[in-house]
Amino acid sequence: MPEEERPMMTAADLLDLFARKATEPLQESSQILVRHLRCKESLKAAHCLVEAIDRFVGRDDYPLPAPAGILAPPA
């Protein structure tokens, strides 16, 4: 719907919408994400991954050049 045709929401409408959304059950994908974020093993694995990246990836902070076949030749 174009923006001009949408009815304006009042603050009360927004509060009502948020209250309804807060009481709705989570979708299955959201439930999986919540379980994952609450899982100590998942959090530990994520922490280990971040530590390994920090340890083994160079900290040169310079961008890698793009392969020549991707870029057009300079004019």
pTM of the model: 0.40
Residues 6+ apart with CB under 8 A from 1: none
Q: What is the dihedral of CA 58, 60, 63, 66, to 10 degrees?
A: -50
Q: Where exactly are the structural domains of the chain? A: 27-55
Structure confidence at residue 44 (pLDDT): 93
Query: Between 60 and 28, where is the model more confident?
Result: 28
In this prediction, residue 71 carries a pLDDT of 65
